[in-house]
Structure 1
Amino acid sequence: MTAMANMGSLVVALPPSDIWLTDDQAAEFLGYGGVYFKSSIICLKGFPKPRYITETTKGRRWNLKKLSDWLESRPEDLKKAVGRPRKI
């Protein structure tokens, strides 16, 4: 898996291990809401640790490769059901 960025006439391809996501980007990539991601998902045992570029949570970055690996091996109770929710 390679991410590509189009910068004018120059195309740059990076491996996932070189791509760092913000909290919102990581939540969207994993398919969770931002608040649920920040309050529950990042606290799970085995979830990858972030890298901080500043001392605040705004400076927290998540490695795409580590998130992808966690996504493949996440616990069964966190896997989302496919399809429409049941009508109650």
Structure 2
Amino acid sequence: MWGEPQDFLFIATERYKFCVLQWDAETSELITRAMGDVSDRIGRPTDNGQIGIIDPDCRLIGLHLYDGLFKVIPFDNKGQLKEAFNIRYQEV
């Protein structure tokens, strides 16, 4: 996340769950920074598998999970995840 001294790990599962993990070197523990569900009631899962990308400036996480939908998980100014939303698009 932006301004942090170390990288975090974003993991998304095929069952549409996700988490953001951080390693605490002082305590040798794995810390869950965020977790949630990115499933939708509508939409057909993509045939080519899930695709995710994180903006290098830590402004958002983008996920292609369903045909015709692009899910956006924005970050706030403090690096915390905000509520996800979908952008609908027409595939050519």
TM-score for the superposition, normalised by structure 2: 0.30
Based on CA coordinates, which of the two structures has the bigger radius of gyration?
1
Question: Which structure shows the bigger proportion of residues in helix conformation?
Answer: 1
